[in-house]
Amino acid sequence: MDLEFFLSKVPLFSSISLFQLREIASCFGTLELKKDSIVFREGDLSDSMYVICSGAVLIYSEQKEVPFFQVELKRGDFFGEMALLSDLPRNATARVTLDAKVFCLKKLDFETVLSGNKDIGLFLSRLYARRLSSGFEKEKGIRKPSFYSVSATDPDLGLSHFLYSVSYHISTESSKKVLVVEPHLELESIMQKFDLKIMACPDESLFSLLPPNLYHARDFKWFYHPSGFNVLQVNKGFNESLVPVLPLLMESFKTRYDLVFFSLAHYFGNLEQQAVRLCDKNMILINNTRKALQDVKQKIARLEEKAGVGLDRVRAGVSHLCGSTGIPRDELKRELHLSETPQIWVDRSDMALKDQIDTQKRFPVKGARAVAREIAGVRVGLALGAGAARGWSHIGVLKVLEDHGIHIDMMAGTSMGALVGAVYAAKGSVEALKKQTIDLFPTRAKARKGIFDYSLPLKGFLRGKKALNLVATAVNQADFMDLLIPTVIVGVDILKGEEVLFETGDVAKAVRSSLSLPVIFSPVRHMGRWVVDGGLLNPVPVNILEQKGADKIIAVCVENPRSNRQGGTKSPGIMEVVSRTISIVHGRATSGFAGKSDIVIYPDVQGFAWDDFHKGEVLMQRGIKACEEVIQEIKSLVQ
């Protein structure tokens, strides 16, 4: 009877009579599927169709390097019937994303049901007609995580400060609705420190899937923050009761909230283990002192065991609230076998120590705000292209972005774009960037003296040591770990003809490698490769920002083949021939990046030579003008 009632609410069967529904229900089998179970794979022979009773199932194609996201199905949705109708192999994979109960109908039973119920065939034909007319077939993209668990290796690492700060920044920088679930009841006085105010339950239907005898309003306490996010506290005595029904509760939460965080503190009981298994991502705030290292290893191992091996669901961040000194983050990565270098999520600050939300919109973006922007999908990436001296116009673009409060989350740079990007990433301000670059070269003589170190042209006309020293001084001998803005620098392995990405080690040497215009600068031996100008293969590295997860991409191109045509009858010298050859190569190679960018800025640098390093002020103004022309588009993009 329960199945009959459920099927009557499913659109596919809603027009069927009760008598027919009883017959159809008797044909269905029941499957209980855990998160990450595969129902069927693309290419499998089709033998069944399915109706979801609870949980969620993702349908996607695996044929591409980046999977095509099709649709995430939920309660009442059905799938797998198309392959039965066409008698072809499955054209997509079905993976469970939240513990699911599904009803299964075998092929022969499906054909019997279909032949005896014309209304079902009519419903399906109309459904497919709508899908085809609306371009439903396939939608590019990756499914965004909805559920996060957040835990800590120690009770004094500022977990609540971090979690509520993340929720604040997501709420104020995106339209996403956020819920924080606190399984461990906090005192109301502590909630008041975070400016959280008690409220009535916003929607009683959130608990409609729970068994009737399980939900009692007294076991749940709701709070809201003025920025928009909600907090749900669960009575401690009620925790164990939630374990078996947590998938149902999560299913309901997903109907009202875009993002749900489970605050697990430093506990790891049955409820916490269930949450870790069910969540899409699991964040852990770690104590990075040597004394605590072994304990941290054990707790991360327990998380990974519950989250699933090889699913890359566990991510660690460092808190500096404990211990005056800590283990370097690159060492932590090696010691803990992490997939990436852990960021600093909590620094010693009055707000963290006093349990207050960090509401500051600081730049460079870091800590809780950096995590929030990543989760919310609002990170801005800036690609700075090649162009020798013309690349000084990048500084003008950066000035306009800075003046208008457009905060850059990550950068990728090639050749001159690598130099400008690296110095800006190290200093975090255009004023400091300008002092370390164009202000040093007010005249051609000073530019030549500061940059050019001629040699016998065995590998290049210029040795490049002066350029290396210039960059090293400008970035203060920085390692990539020291950069205030995450940055990737692009070079080319001249022997193998391969693109090389630099994001670890010595920043100055990576920049010098990317600056190595063939013939003009000697190639650089760096990290076991002979590296030259990255612009030969990737003049405007937009694709690198895509790979790194930027959500909005702004590109700056100074090697625009439409604007860099310069006439003249004078016979060019060898240096000009080489530089123009490289410029033509750069210009031709820029054709593919624009379509992957949200906004492309083309400073007008026509008429400037590759070695006009002394014309920085004028070139900067060209960048300012070009960026100001599109600044309203940029504001619309990031808002």
Residues annotated catalytic, as ranges: 415, 533
Q: Using CA atoms, how far apart are residues 326 and 324, in angstroms rounded to an integer?
A: 7
The β-bridge partners of 72 are 58
Q: Are 185 and 221 in contact (CB under 8 A)?
A: yes
Q: Using CA atoms, how far apart are residues 342 and 332, in angstroms rounded to an integer?
A: 8
Task: Give Cα separations from 64 to 13, 67, 69, 296 (angstroms).
Answer: 34, 5, 11, 37
Backbone angles phi, psi at 574, to 5 degrees: -65, -40
Backbone angles phi, psi at 347, to 5 degrees: -105, 160
User: 380 is written with which tokens?
Assistant: 């801005």
Angle (CA) 47-75-375 rounded to 5° is: 110
The residues near 619 (Cβ < 8 Å, ≥ 6 apart) are: 389, 390, 392, 393, 395, 396, 438, 603, 605, 608, 612
Q: Using CA atoms, how far apart are residues 372 and 271, in angstroms rounded to an integer?
A: 25
Q: Using CA atoms, how far apart are residues 166 and 373, in angstroms rounded to an integer?
A: 8
Looking only at the bridges linking them, the beta strands covering 78-79 and 29-33 are: unpaired
**Dihedral of the alpha carbons of 177, 267, 288, 284, in degrees to the nearest 10:** -30
6: which DSSP letter?
Answer: H
Backbone angles phi, psi at 18, to 5 degrees: -60, -40
Q: Using CA atoms, how far apart are residues 527 and 510, in angstroms rounded to an integer?
A: 9
Q: Are 567 and 363 in contact (CB under 8 A)?
A: no
Residue-by-residue DSSP string for 92-112? SEEEEEEEEEEEEEEHHHHHH
Q: Is 106 left (phi over 0), alpha (psi -120 to 50) or beta?
A: beta
Angle (CA) 75-77-83 rounded to 5° is: 145
Among residues 441, 435, 545, the alpha carbon closest in space to that of 488 is found at 545
Backbone angles phi, psi at 616, to 5 degrees: -60, -40
